[in-house]
Amino acid sequence: MNVAFFFEVLIGGLLAGVMYSLVALGFVLIYKASGVFNFAQGAMVFFAALTFVSLVERGVNFWLALVITLAVMVVLGIAIEKVVLRPLVNQPPITLFMATIGLTFVLEGLSQLLWGSQPHGLELGIEDVPMEWLSKATGMNVSQFDLFAAGVAGILVASLALFFQYTRIGRALRAVADDHQAALSVGIPLKHIWAIVWAVAGFVALVAGLMWGVRNGVQFALTFIALKALPVLILGGFESVLGAIVGGLIIGASEKLAEVYLGPYVGGGIEGWFPYVLALVFLLFRPEGLFGEKHIDRV
């Protein structure tokens, strides 16, 4: 076995895992704060990326487009809270989950209706090519864009952590995540908090959309990355930001390694289901994921 090649696959997988984590993060934020399993996160990623790229293609300045898209995502988050979630308060989780599937359809249709369905390329100024000095020194091909994406994810998680830890809104968010009723009773406005969480999730979706857009182009297939994020989510636990990151790394690395070393024996293309089966095996030992909250059942 070629050691350099092994590490190349491993590092590539870990960095790809960071990309999954970016998407999973959006799920976690919303699940933590409102207990909603937001299936529409993938559609939000697509919507954000498509809005951004369409604006840029129409000649809008890069930063202005970023700000506009961010504003759109915030408005979208608030609108979702008002139109979809508020009337569904106190419904069982499955109902809310179904509502977000409906939302997925709306967002997918809306984004393509507004901006058309042709795929777009996206450039952020960092090319998706292997770093030459690293290839020369060690023989490993590691894409510089992957490193950039990992850096962005790191900054995102760090700033989210700071936001949650040290701001007034962040404290309120954590309180709501802990206990809705208790948060309400000390005067935290639940509605605002939910709108904020959805807006933050929209922001995370935008970042994920940009990263994935550079990697795969901005096209309808972006919505499917939500499916890639789900095993990350159950592996790490629905309620844990740390879980999303660690889960992403584990899934990314093992998926790539399995594809390279196991794939040839079974006919390849196992990337589609391997993460799920892996997550499933993990769940058999830890039913709440690695970092999820333990549930105690009482009759």
Number of residues lying near other proteins (CB under 8 A) = 50
Q: Which is nearer to other proteins, 171 or 191 (CB)?
A: 191
Q: Does 84 bind other proteins (CB under 8 A)?
A: yes
CB atoms within 10 A of CB 240: 21
In the complex, least distance from residue 291 CB atom to other proteins, rounded to whole angstroms: 13
In the complex, least distance from residue 51 CB atom to other proteins, rounded to whole angstroms: 15
Q: Does 262 bind other proteins (CB under 8 A)?
A: no
Q: Does 103 bind other proteins (CB under 8 A)?
A: yes
Q: Does 97 bind other proteins (CB under 8 A)?
A: yes
Q: Could you tell me the sign of the dihedral formed by the alpha carbons of 13, 16, 22, 24, in that order?
A: negative
Judged by CB under 8 A, the stretch of 86-94, 127-135, 187-195, 212-220 that binds other proteins is 86-94
Q: What is the 3-state secondary structure (H, E, C) of the chain?
A: CCHHHHHHHHHHHHHHHHHHHHHHHHHHHHHHHHCCCCCCHHHHHHHHHHHHHHHHHCCCCHHHHHHHHHHHHHHHHHHHHHHHHHHHCCCCHHHHHHHHHHHHHHHHHHHHHHHCCCCECCCCCCCCCECHHHHHHHCCCCEHHHHHHHHHHHHHHHHHHHHHHHCHHHHHHHHHHHCHHHHHHCCCCHHHHHHHHHHHHHHHHHHHHHHHHHHHCECHHHHHHHHHHHHHHHHHCCCCHHHHHHHHHHHHHHHHHHHHHHHHHHCCCHHHCHHHHHHHHHHHHCCCCCCCCCCCCCC
Inter-residue contact 228 to 23 (CB < 8 Å): yes
Judged by CB under 8 A, the stretch of 92-100, 121-129, 130-138, 159-167 that binds other proteins is 92-100
Q: Does 293 bind other proteins (CB under 8 A)?
A: no
In the complex, least distance from residue 283 CB atom to other proteins, rounded to whole angstroms: 5
Of the candidate residues 49, 99, 193, 207, the single one contacting other proteins (CB under 8 A)? 99
Of 170-229, which residues contact other proteins (CB under 8 A)?
A: 227
Q: Does 297 bind other proteins (CB under 8 A)?
A: yes
Q: Does 283 bind other proteins (CB under 8 A)?
A: yes
In the complex, least distance from residue 57 CB atom to other proteins, rounded to whole angstroms: 18
In the complex, least distance from residue 136 CB atom to other proteins, rounded to whole angstroms: 38
Of 116-135, which residues contact other proteins (CB under 8 A)?
A: 116-117
What's the CA gap between 107 and 101, in Å, rounded? 10
Q: Does 265 bind other proteins (CB under 8 A)?
A: no
Q: Which is nearer to other proteins, 112 or 141 (CB)?
A: 112
- Contact footprint for other proteins (CB under 8 A): 37, 83-84, 87-88, 91, 93-95, 97-99, 101-110, 112-113, 116-117, 227, 230-231, 233-234, 238, 266-267, 269-270, 272-273, 276-277, 279-280, 283-284, 287-289, 297-299
